[in-house]
Structure 1
Amino acid sequence: MDGIGFDDSAPLLEVEDLRVEFRTRDGVAYAVNGTSFSVDAGQTLGILGESGCGKSVTAQAVMGILDSPPAYIAGGRIKLRGVDLLSLPEESRRLVRANRVAMVFQDALSSLNPVFTVGYQLGELFRRHRGYSKADARTEAVGLLDLVGI
């Protein structure tokens, strides 16, 4: 699929000493400072903490969807099946997001655009990331909605 060279014997996800900063004209805010964890296939990881402690920023860093600037990954490693995602070019990161990892956002209003139907937005994922035709993307979207009883 991607030619990236994932090692299926390596941990599914390894985050090592992740540091994320927000650089503004008022100074630097240290949002994530030295976070490390590992997740094997079949495991579940919950990230808990008070509001503003860096949970969402950590997940966005893993996904490669930080708003940069002002967000900046100041250090650490993010490995998916042994491949350091931070060393990949953006096009490869996009392929990884399209085919290997996903994020369920905690706020539905920031995830879905109320101007478009849910089916259209699901179909857009298949059109953009998998190159499906409009008809095939719609079929996939309807199948997913049917799968969850919608």
Structure 2
Amino acid sequence: MPEAKVLVVYYSRTGTTRLLALAIAKMLSADLEAICDCSNRTGVAGYLRSLVDAISKRPVEIVPAGHDVAAYQLVVIGTPVWAGSVSAPVRSYLIENRARFAQVAFFCSFGGRGADQAMREMRELVGRPAVAECNVTAAEARKDANGALAVFAHVLKGHIARFKALAWMC
């Protein structure tokens, strides 16, 4: 029986979501891909540009993905929360790939609030529920988010096991 293919995709402006993505990919033995934004988001001007993009809920230009999401049974997508919203690069990625995902899971990093709203928005953008979701504060991500991530990975591994069992039966 072949191994289930899992891809962890993320966008990270400051590196916080990247830390989470690296840990999740390691826990799941998954492929990893960063979403690359064509906008300059560094410094104060980049922060303000990110805020405007989030509030206006507009997609932005991103570099084409290197991995074909249709080749994966599960795509785990991570975003920072910007103004209570999914980040603009992740919004673009979800819109571009929503018809090609088999199953999705979501995770986010956030400063203080807005994670539930961002998760809801991600579900709406792909038009289906996620098999699992995980919200981690930026403070937890920098200290030790392994507890929350371990629970998230455990749920995903259970989903993958059920998927493999179903594929074996067919």
Higher-strand-fraction structure: 1
Q: Which has the larger radius of gyration?
A: 1
Please give the range of the TM-score, normalised by the shorter of the 2 chains.
under 0.3
Higher-helix-fraction structure: 2
TM-score (norm 1): 0.28
